[in-house]
């Protein structure tokens, strides 16, 4: 069986079905020390230096952080870049219209001149990674408050960044690892001319949509293609028609050889965020309190969006990226709750903590850690209600664009009131750009319906003490008629009219601020924000400071006490490596999944005209062709074209 096989760097997923206890997301500069022997034992034929090197080109030079939120891989010597469909989706949406519906129909540039520029999109390469822990923690003492400690570290790292050796075109960033017990510096290069080359129709790139999201193995053609452009000297440059395709130090080859079960494979990319080393109380709160609340809020929002998007293609284009973003975390959290419940993660955490406590109690050298677990549990219990209120605030108000616009205007007015014209000028450009982006993808009827669906949850579903009294008063004055209250707030159409907003922001600052302070939606948002800052944010920050200090100590203690375990740092959007062998898994009792899916499986799921499982005519008629006339991939034996492969992730 022939098929295209590309190492799935962009996914960077740790599959929960059959993951071993020694799974990991490893720092590439430490592979030789920690992982290379095990990787070779599992079948790796290259060296750790082939993966990461600062003295010669290596695989790291073909891997980029795509927009700061995804991973991309260079697959040609002319800057061609592969990433996920959902990673490129915002760019695809921004170029789509009713006349050129690239979301529905896909897009392919037939030459460089047809490739589409994307304002604000960038890719970042990692040049090198240095351990700067000693410098970062210089002068940091055990009696410092969290604020004092962080201030000292920030000062130290600023000095490190100031003195690092780098080229003019390069940037520097520092990140904390192991809960602030270790610090690394990253020298980077960023390219800001990134153009859309191609994307399949959403019926391929997002096949299965909500039903199949976060479910593996999948039948989704989750890819899109871009090209990096540079100046004529191959250096980073802002967009210009004079720029030329970037020539990378390294690009990945595409194999047509296929894979077999137990083959070695590796993932190289930028995973977002994990919390592997939490206390059991925190894990249980995620499972039973925080995730269910966030799921319920997003479920309401998705119902509203889905109802409009199915009936109106224009609204579907406007809200496609927003819907996908809301749905992605919604489905992830559902899976998180299911996984934590099925695996009895709480009990497993408790067992680990029992072993930890036994070792601590048995060794006088660990006396300082005796009360650590109990102290952490106490703080997490105190945080629970505040964490729930935080989730209601952030989840609800981020879905209602009226409040997002009001937030920007309120911040602009506050800047003027606090710092005069200078403060206003410093904020104006960013606020105007943010508002413009929101209004471009805004529909008043959709947003009003989101308000009507979500604000009753803010009032009724969280502890009453956290709801803003001013909003409750407005709500009660409207006889608890949320639609009537929505009509009042959305009546001021200038708040979400692009031309009116631009005209307003062109006026003198004092006139702008006076107008802003007279907007009902801004008044409501300001009350909501002030209440949140006082009743939730401030007290929860005090608790979080204590948790942060305890968690940092707990992380250090785990590495000292559990010496039979090899630790890897939690993901924090920095470059990582995972590796393992190709294999299937047992999903649940009586359900076994193989390690790959193919085009025949897509046809088995095919439902003509369905919102999630429709299949384009070209794919149905020519199963063995890629999109684009005449681009043959080769006939597959038995009519099969591979779509997806599964891997068991290992460490050492």
Mean pLDDT of the chain: 89
What mean pLDDT comes out for the span 565-583? 91
Give the 3-state secondary structure of residue 387: helix
Other C-beta atoms closer than 10 Å to the C-beta of 30 total 18
How far apart CA 64 and CA 573 sit, in angstroms, is 11
The residues, ordered by sequence, that sit 6+ positions from 404 with a Cβ below 8 Å of its Cβ are 397, 398, 438
How far apart CA 71 and CA 573 sit, in angstroms, is 10
Residue 122 has pLDDT above 60, yes or no: yes
**Residues of the chain above pLDDT 70, percent:** 92
Please give the pLDDT value at position 15. 34
Higher pLDDT, 630 or 385: 385
* DSSP, residue by residue, 112-180: GGGPEE-TT--EEEEEEEEE-HHHHTTT--TT--HHHHHHHHHHHHHHHHHH----TTEEEEEEEEGGG
How far apart CA 577 and CA 90 sit, in angstroms, is 26
Residue 29 has pLDDT above 50, yes or no: yes
Q: Which pLDDT band, with edges at 50, 70 and 90, does 639 fall under?
A: very low
Residue 21 has pLDDT above 50, yes or no: no
Report the 3 state secondary structure along 272-324.
CCCCCCCCHHHHHHHHHHHHHHHHHHHHHHHHHHHHHHCCCHHHHHHHHHHHH
| Exposure b/e, 128-148, CB count within 10 A at least 16 = b | bbbebbebbbeeeeeeeebee
Please give the pLDDT value at position 56. 93
Please give the pLDDT value at position 369. 97
- 290-309 pLDDT tens trace: 999 999 999 999 999 999 99
Q: Which pLDDT band, with edges at 50, 70 and 90, does 644 fall under?
A: low
Whether 190 contacts 122, CB under 8 Å: yes
| Exposure b/e, 621-642, CB count within 10 A at least 16 = b | eebebbbeeeeeeeebeeebbb
**Residues of the chain above pLDDT 90, percent:** 74
Residue 64 has pLDDT above 90, yes or no: yes
Residue 18 has pLDDT above 60, yes or no: no
Please give the pLDDT value at position 615. 84
Name the burial class of residue 88, with classes exposed (0-12), middle (13-18) and buried (19+) by CB atoms within 10 angstroms of its CB. buried
* Alpha helices (H) in 461-598, listed in sequence order: 469-477, 482-490, 498-505, 509-516, 520-532, 538-561
Residue 20 has pLDDT above 70, yes or no: no
Tell me, rounded to whole angstroms, the distance of Cα 133 from its chain centroid. 26
DSSP 8-state code for residue 254: P
Indicate the domain borders of the chain: 28-122+192-274+568-650, 280-561
DSSP 8-state code for residue 534: I
- 366-379 pLDDT tens trace: 999 999 999 999 99
- 409-456 pLDDT tens trace: 999 999 999 999 999 999 999 999 999 999 999 999 999 999 999 999
Whether 266 contacts 15, CB under 8 Å: no
Tell me, rounded to whole angstroms, the distance of Cα 531 from its chain centroid. 28
The residues, ordered by sequence, that sit 6+ positions from 422 with a Cβ below 8 Å of its Cβ are none
Please give the pLDDT value at position 124. 98
Using CA atoms of 541, 542, 548, 550 in order, give the dihedral in degrees to the nearest 10. -160
Residue 624 has pLDDT above 50, yes or no: no
Angle between helices 313-342 and 85-94 (to 10 degrees): 160
Please give the pLDDT value at position 637. 44
Whether 397 contacts 296, CB under 8 Å: no
What mean pLDDT comes out for the span 126-139? 97
φ and ψ of 17, to 5 deg: -65, -40
Give the 3-state secondary structure of residue 384: helix
Residue 107 corresponds to which tokens in the numbers above? 């897009």
Please give the pLDDT value at position 641. 61
How far apart CA 330 and CA 87 sit, in angstroms, is 17
Tell me, rounded to whole angstroms, the distance of Cα 572 from its chain centroid. 10
């Amino acid at each position: 069986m022939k098929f295209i096989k590309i190492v799935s760097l962009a996914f960077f997923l740790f599959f929960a079905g059959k993951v071993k206890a020694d799974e990991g997301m490893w720092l590439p500069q430490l592979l030789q020390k920690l992982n290379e022997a095990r990787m070779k034992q599992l079948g790796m034929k290259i060296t750790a230096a082939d993966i990461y090197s600062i003295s010669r080109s290596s695989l790291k030079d073909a891997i980029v952080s795509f927009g700061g939120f995804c991973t991309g891989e260079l697959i040609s010597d002319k800057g061609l870049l592969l990433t996920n469909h959902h990673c490129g989706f915002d760019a695809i949406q921004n170029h789509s219209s009713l006349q050129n519906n690239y979301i529905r129909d896909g897009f392919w540039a037939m030459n460089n001149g047809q490739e589409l520029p994307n304002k604000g999109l960038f890719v970042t390469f990692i040049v090198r990674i240095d351990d700067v822990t000693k410098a970062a923690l210089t002068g940091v003492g055990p009696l410092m408050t969290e604020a004092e400690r962080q201030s000292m570290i920030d000062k130290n790292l600023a000095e490190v960044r100031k003195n690092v050796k780098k080229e003019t075109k390069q940037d520097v960033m520092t990140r904390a690892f192991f809960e602030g017990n270790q610090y690394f510096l990253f020298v980077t290069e960023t390219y800001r001319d990134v153009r859309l080359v191609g994307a399949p129709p959403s019926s391929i790139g997002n096949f299965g949509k909500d039903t199949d999201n976060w479910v593996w193995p999948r039948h989704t053609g989750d890819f899109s293609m871009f090209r990096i452009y540079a100046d004529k000297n191959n250096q980073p440059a802002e967009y210009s028609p004079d720029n030329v395709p970037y020539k990378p130090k390294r690009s990945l080859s595409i194999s047509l050889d296929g894979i077999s079960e137990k083959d070695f494979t590796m993932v190289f990319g930028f995973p977002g965020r994990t919390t592997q080393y939490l206390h059991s109380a925190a894990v249980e709160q995620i499972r039973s309190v925080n995730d269910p609340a966030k799921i319920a809020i997003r479920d309401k929002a998705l119902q509203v969006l889905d109802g409009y998007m199915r009936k109106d293609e224009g609204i579907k284009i406007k809200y496609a990226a927003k819907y996908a973003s809301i749905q992605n975390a919604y489905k992830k959290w559902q899976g998180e709750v299911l996984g934590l419940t099925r695996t009895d993660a709480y009990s497993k955490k408790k067992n680990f903590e029992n072993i930890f406590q036994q070792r601590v109690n048995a060794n006088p050298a660990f006396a300082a850690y005796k009360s650590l677990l109990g102290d952490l549990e106490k703080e997490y219990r105190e945080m629970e209600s505040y964490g729930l209120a935080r989730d209601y605030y952030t989840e609800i108000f981020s879905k209602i664009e009226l409040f997002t616009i009001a937030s920007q205007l309120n911040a602009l007015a506050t800047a003027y009131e606090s710092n005069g014209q200078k403060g206003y000028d410093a904020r104006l450009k960013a606020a105007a750009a943010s508002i413009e982006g929101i209004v471009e993808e805004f529909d008043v009827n959709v947003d009003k319906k989101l308000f009507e669906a979500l604000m009753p949850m803010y009032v009724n579903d969280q502890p009453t003490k956290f709801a803003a009294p001013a909003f409750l008063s407005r709500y009660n004055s409207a006889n608890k008629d949320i639609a009537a209250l929505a009509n009042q707030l959305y009546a001021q159409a200038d708040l979400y009219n692009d031309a009116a907003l631009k005209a307003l922001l062109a006026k003198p600052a004092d006139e702008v601020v006076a107008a802003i302070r007279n907007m009902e939606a801004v008044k409501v948002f300001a009350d909501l924000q002030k209440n949140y800052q006082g009743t939730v944010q401030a007290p929860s920050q005090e608790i979080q400071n204590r948790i942060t200090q305890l968690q940092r100590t707990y992380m250090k203690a785990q590495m000292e006490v559990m010496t039979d375990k090899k630790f890897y740092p939690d993901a924090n959007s920095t470059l990582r490596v995972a590796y393992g062998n190709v294999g299937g898994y047992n999903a649940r009792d009586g359900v076994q999944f193989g390690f790959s899916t193919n085009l025949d499986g897509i046809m088995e799921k095919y439902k003509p005209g369905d919102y999630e499982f429709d299949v384009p005519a070209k794919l149905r008629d020519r199963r063995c062709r890629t999109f684009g006339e005449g681009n043959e991939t080769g006939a597959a034996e038995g009519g099969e074209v591979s779509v997806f492969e599964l891997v068991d992730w290992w460490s050492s």
